[in-house]
Structure 1
Amino acid sequence: MKDQQQSARISATADLLQRLLGTTPQYLRTWRVHGRRARGEVNQRAVARVLAEVEFERGDVGDPSDPCVIRRLKNAVHRAFAGRSLPGQLLEDFISGFNMTEGDAHELWRTLTGANSVTGTVRRPREHGKRQWHRTTSLFEHWYIGEGTTLLRRHTTQCVEALEDGVDSYLYNHEPYATQIVVVHGGRLGRHYEYGDGLVSDDIVLDRTLARGERASIEYQTFYEKGKRISEVRRPARKRTYNVSLHVHFDLNELPRKLWFAVWEDHYLGMHVSQLPLSLSDTGSASYCLEHMEQTVIGFRWE
């Protein structure tokens, strides 16, 4: 059933994508620079040339006119238009290459992922110590809750991709009551930041400096004040974060009466703006997965 639903979403997204490229004047002009309509349809080779420019700008290819690059991308466009395969990165390249409006981009993502994404809930973005020069391509987050609903530790594994040359660190925004951060793999702890509006961050200096398009895996654990009772955990995202998997683990001697996956509009402040009831497993754990999230704060809350 899940595979059938995913296939249906890909097919619907393919239809919407072709309709936008074939009828929206600004998108039409972008690909028609490279070729005219083929049999009255969107020219797939011309679209491939637009996508090649995106890969060139990202540093993935050295020559956007290379016939091998165009052939590879034309095959990807053909599979996408046929509704057979439309990876998230390819859709992101369509949106970027054709400079799509926010409304069109949102509708494409909504169609592809269904309700399995959260975007745009942060109304007033907080100031950060550094601009974001990476994006996260996968994120696995585990929170461990002890007796008395105290937060014991948080275990994070993620893959980051450089958006420009010279990316040598990842800025980790975390709870203000964290007492220790241990980098298990992929780097070491760097500079500490504290801001006037309550935001606390630490740099994780990567093992190697990344060029644009390169990726690195990092794993780190966060420890907290003993006896700090909580009733929620939150994870923010600025730029688009893909393949998100959140997990919360409770002590079997003190399980929550009710548990929700929740969405907020701030890192720490305010009430949740939406929530979804969850059930605990026999081991006292629960999880929630998203295709992507962007400019939002997500996590778990309980009673």
Structure 2
Amino acid sequence: MKRTQQDLHQAAVAEVIAHYLWDCGELSEDVPSRSLKDRVSRALNGSVMSVETLRWFIEAFEMDDNHRKDLWETTCFVENDLERGIAYTLRSRRPMAKPQRHRTVSLFERYSVGPTRSLAGRRTYHTIRAVEDGVDAYFLNYEPWASAIEVLQGGALGERCTYGNGLTGIDILLSERLREMQTTTLEYRVEFPSDCRNTTEVRRPAFARAENVDMAVEFVSAELPRKLWWCIWDDHLEGSAVREQELALQGRTARMATPFVEETVVGFRWEW
């Protein structure tokens, strides 16, 4: 059968994407690149482009930040189906204290609001994958009014720093230095003074891609919130939510999971 130029083009694109997926471990090397051809074809002719497929194109062809943003916007994923993934809502990127040398494989974060309506703590289970050799620390951003930080698994506390406009962070020194593509799991918690503030929201920023994100907030206060929303913001610290979805409490807890977050801020807000 004679192959057309379009067939060769699609096959070449599928080959590039397959090599990327093989290298990062998302696809077994036993799976041939031709298995991606139909998916690539649908994306290139504009009929179907899933969030995952778009990410494959962006990562496999090493597109820069401007091209990434343009692609997310032109494919309308910036509208963010809350159950498919959330990306590119930041109006500007706040400075980072250190380069991010990892990607998040999974993130389970649990917030607790105490009897005085103030944030009592957050506990995090976090699996990360190194994107280069020699990754020996994870930089944890935390609220400046926190009273204590404890690493329960995977490392030990290192140097603290203050940077940007009121941002604070601390190194978690990993138990073992990671090679590229190696993973490790961290468990840590942050505690807050009981009289610090009347809490009405929690925000989690994501700059590089974080996958399998599961967040929840539990209210141990005598009074439960009157209303609660899952929210997307365009800034870590300031402004109102750019999109939100009202949630019902399950007992005393609200929970939301999403396949990924990237270049965005997500979390919960509520009214007493």
Same fold (TM over 0.5): yes
Q: Residue by residue, what CA displacement relative to the aligned partner does 1:229-250 show, whole Å, maximum 9, x if unpaired?
A: 2111111111111111110001
Equivalent runs, 1:120-199 vs 2, <5 Å = 120-199=88-167
Alignment of 1:40-119 (within 5 A): 41=7, 46-51=12-17, 53-54=19-20, 69=29, 72-74=31-33, 76-78=35-37, 80=39, 92-99=55-62, 101-102=67-68, 103-105=70-72, 110=77, 114-116=81-83, 117-119=85-87
Judged with a 3 Å threshold, the aligned counterparts in structure 2 of structure 1 residues 107 and 139 are, in CA distance, closer, same or farther, namely farther
Shift of residue 154, structure 1, vs aligned partner: 0.2
SS state of the match for residue 96, structure 1? Answer: helix
More helix by share: 1
Counterpart position of 2:179? 211
Match of residue 46 from structure 2 = none
Which residue identity does 2:209 align to in structure 1?
A: R
> 2:116, 2:221 within 8 Å by CA — same for their partners in 1?
no
The letter of the residue matching 2:260 is: H
Q: What letter matches 2:202 in structure 1?
A: V
**Bigger Cα displacement from structure 2, 268-277 vs 102-111:** 102-111
Note the alpha carbon deviations across 1:13-58, whole angstroms, 9 max, x for none.
xxxxxxxxxxxxxxxxxxxxxxx956953566534431355358x5
Q: Give the Cα–Cα distance (whole angstroms) in 2 for the partners of residues 90 and 212 of structure 1.
A: 23
Q: Which amino acid aligns with 1:74?
A: S
Amino acid at match of 1:184: L
Alpha-carbon spacing, 1:107–1:291, altered in 2? closer, same or farther (3 Å): farther
Contact 2:102 2:130 in 1 (8 A): yes
Does the CA-based 8 Å contact 1:245-1:287 persist in structure 2? yes
- Between the aligned partners of 1:75 and 1:180, the Cα distance in structure 2 is 52
Q: Is the 8 A contact 2:115 2:220 kept in 1?
A: yes
Provide, for residues 174-209 of structure 1, a one-character-per-residue CA deviation record: whole Å limited to 9, x for no partner: 111111111111111111011251001111111111
Distance 2:36 2:254 in 1: 38
Structure 1 pair 194–174 and aligned structure 2 pair: CA distance change class (3 A): same
Task: Provide closer, same or farther for how the CA distance between residues 41 and 122 of structure 1 changes in structure 2, counting only shifts above 3 A.
Answer: same
- Identity percentage over the alignment? 35
Deviation at 1:145, TM superposition (A): 0.7
Alpha carbons 1:140, 1:246 under 8 Å: kept: yes
- Residue among 210, 232, 235 paired with 1:263: 232
Instruction: Give CA deviations for 1:90-148 in whole Å, capped at 9, x if unaligned.
Output: 7533322235543335566839x844322222223222220111111211110011112
Contact 2:153 2:186 in 1 (8 A): yes
Structure-2-length-normalised TM-score: 0.81
**Contact kept? 1:37, 1:43, Cα under 8 Å:** no
For the residues of structure 2 that align with 1:269 and 1:77, how far apart are their CA atoms?
42
Give the letter for the 1:93 counterpart: W
| Cα distance in 2, alignment partners of residues 88 and 187 from structure 1 | 33
**Please, what is the CA RMSD of the aligned residues?**
3.1
Unaligned 5+ segments in structure 2 are 43-48
* Aligned-partner Cα distance in 1 for 2:151–2:52: 28
In structure 1, the gaps of 5 or more residues are 1-35, 62-67
